[in-house]
C-alpha cells in the first residue's frame, strides 16, 4: 500500500518524533540555564531575606 509520498505509512512513520522531542528538551535545558536560580534569588530579595549588596553579588556570580 503506497502512502501520499510514495511510501507506506508503516510502523517507522512516526519514529522521527522521539529524537526531535529529545533534542528539543536538551536545547530547552541548555538555554534555560540558571533561570530557576535567578527567580529564587529575586524572590529572596523581594521577601527581604538578603540585602541589596548580597543580591547584586549573587546575581553577578550567576551570570559568570
Whose CA is closest to 45, among 28, 59, 32, 34?
Answer: 59
Task: Supply the pTM of this predicted model.
Answer: 0.46
Q: Where are the domains of the chain?
A: 33-64
pLDDT of residue 57: 93
Interval 26-41: pLDDT, tens: 888 777 765 677 888 8
Instruction: Quote the cell numbers at residue 64.
Output: 559568570
Q: Which residue has the cell 512516526?
A: 14
Interval 1-59: pLDDT, tens: 455 555 565 666 677 788 888 898 888 877 776 567 788 889 999 999 999 999 999 88
Amino acid at each position: 500500500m503506497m502512502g501520499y509520498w510514495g511510501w507506506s505509512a508503516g510502523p517507522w512513520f512516526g519514529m522521527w518524533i522521539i529524537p526531535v522531542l529529545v533534542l528539543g528538551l536538551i536545547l530547552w535545558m541548555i538555554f534555560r540555564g540558571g533561570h530557576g536560580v535567578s527567580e529564587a534569588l529575586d524572590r529572596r530579595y523581594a521577601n527581604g531575606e538578603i540585602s541589596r549588596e548580597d543580591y547584586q553579588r549573587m546575581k553577578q556570580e550567576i551570570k559568570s
